Amino acid sequence: MSGVNPEPSRPRRCLVTGGAGFIGSHLVDHLLARGDEVVVVDNLSTGRRSNLPAEGPSLRVVVAEASEAVRSFADAERFDQVYHLAAAVGVKRIIERPIESIETNIQEASAVLHYAVSCVPMPAVVIASSSEVYGKGTKSPFSEDDDCLYGPTTAVRWSYACTKAIDEYLALAHHARSGLPVVVARFFNTVGPRQVGEYGMVLPNFVEAVLRGRHPEVFGDGAQTRCFCDVRDVVPVLPRLLESGACHGRVFNIGSDAPISIADLARLVARTLNSDLEPVMIPYDRVYAPGFEDLRQRRPDLRRIRGAVGFEPRIELARTIRDLARTRGWSASD
Ligand SMILES: NC(=O)c1ccc[n+]([C@@H]2O[C@H](COP(=O)([O-])OP(=O)(O)OC[C@H]3O[C@@H](n4cnc5c(N)ncnc54)[C@H](O)[C@@H]3O)[C@@H](O)[C@H]2O)c1
């Protein structure tokens, strides 16, 4: 075993794949603010260069596939921490482009993990997973060791869950075989400034609709519940998980455990943005293919992450909505 990177006295060197994306760019802000040196690798498929600050001594941006970039790093680049966030994200995108999404999510994670175990010493690694891995189980809340329950392979919706589950298996297997200090971060719905609606994310779509004077469109009956956590609560916990050796080789739910129905979320968006636009319900069959399966609820059990690093989401949803709307030109006087 090549050993685990000790905490360096010099600035930490961090690699963030998918760093121009929504969560990635907030993580980059956080790492730079604490004095780390950051290399971002992003193919800009859904990420935006404008999400990141200008390059300088502490930030380098490589526009490339994550797998190609890590192969090219070879011996030249060494990192203390690697955050693998690059993925094809969002149910809409997965349904529209299943082959590309499945291959991206498995092959890129595999390449990043192989790169990490080839380094001496090995960096500590976060692998971004998703609450989707729980599938359509009906238990509430979901705990990390609960069973995962998927539909048939003919329902392409479940392919995203399966790719993230494979990434988790790979990460845990590298930990078992090589001692890779890896943490699996199972994100629940994460929201905030810079999130875009075009790949099917619900909150930016509601904000966009209300700002344009349109009724927010709720898929299904709107009674399904989710828990939304501000990205600025989520990102600081990722380095803390890596810097606690007891967290390595483990899976952590990360998110809020306060549920809200999607119809109420639409109403909260309207109210927060001083609008009286009511949501309209759209049957799933009109949005996705007939037979689309959604989940009535999805809530994380946060006991493990609270016990490990004291995680507690603090930012209220109304503030997230206001901040997201401000990035689209809204001001409180509107
Ligand atoms: N936002 C959420 O609510 C949520 C929930 C669960 C899991 N996640 C996971 O968190 C991670 C980040 O998601 P996000 O919401 O920031 O989405 P995002 O689409 O904004 O970020 C993904 C980033 O990865 C980049 N990317 C995609 N394929 C790449 C490749 N092959 N090589 C390099 N870069 C590539 C994209 O350009 C984008 O910048 C993903 O792994 C996602 O599965 C997010």
The domain that holds 52 is classified in CATH as 3.40.50.720
83 in catalytic set = no
Domain assignment present for 68: yes
Provide the residue range defining the domain that includes 185.
13-190+231-255+300-314
DSSP-based three-state secondary structure for 226:
strand
Q: Is 105 in the pocket of ligand 1 (CB under 6 A)?
A: no
- What is the pLDDT at residue 291? 72
Q: How far is the CA of 207 from the centre of ligand 1 (A)?
A: 21
Query: Does 186 reside within a domain?
Result: yes
Q: Residue 267 domain-assigned?
A: no
Instruction: Determine if ligand 1 sits within 6 Å of the CB of residue 41.
Output: yes
- From atom 41 of ligand 1, which residue's Cα is the shortest distance away? 85
User: In this structure, is residue 285 part of a structural domain?
Assistant: no
Which residue's alpha carbon is at the smallest distance from atom 26 of ligand 1?
86
What is the pLDDT tens value at each position of the chain, 334 positions in all? Answer: 334 555 666 789 999 999 999 999 999 999 999 999 999 999 999 999 999 999 999 999 999 999 999 999 967 789 999 999 999 997 778 888 999 999 999 999 999 999 999 999 999 999 999 999 999 999 999 999 999 999 999 989 899 999 999 999 999 999 999 999 999 999 999 999 999 988 879 999 999 999 999 999 999 999 999 999 999 999 999 999 999 999 999 999 999 999 999 999 999 999 999 999 999 999 888 777 777 777 899 999 999 999 999 999 999 999 999 999 999 889 877 6
Tell me, in angstroms, the distance from the centre of ligand 1 to residue 89's CA: 5
Contact 275, 202 (CB under 8 A): no
Place of tokens 């930016």: 204
3-class DSSP assignment, residue 106: helix
Q: What is the pLDDT of residue 6?
A: 56
> Has residue 85 been placed in a domain?
yes
Pick from 40, 50, 89 the residue to mutate for probing ligand 1's pocket: most ligand atoms within 8 Å of its CB: 89
Length of the chain: 334
| Distance (Å) from CA 195 to ligand 1 centroid | 11
Is 215 domain-assigned? no
* Cα 319 to ligand 1 centroid, rounded to whole Å: 23
CB of 204 within 6 A of ligand 1: the answer is: no
| Residues 293 and 155 sit within 8 Å (Cβ to Cβ) | yes
Asked if the structure places residue 133 within a domain, the reply is yes
Instruction: Give the total number of structural domains in the chain.
Output: 1
Question: Tell me, what's the pLDDT at 199?
Answer: 80
Would residue 38 count as lying in a domain? Answer: yes
* CB 65 near ligand 1, within 6 Å: yes
**CA distances from residue 106 to 99, 161, 312 in whole angstroms, order as listed:** 11, 11, 30
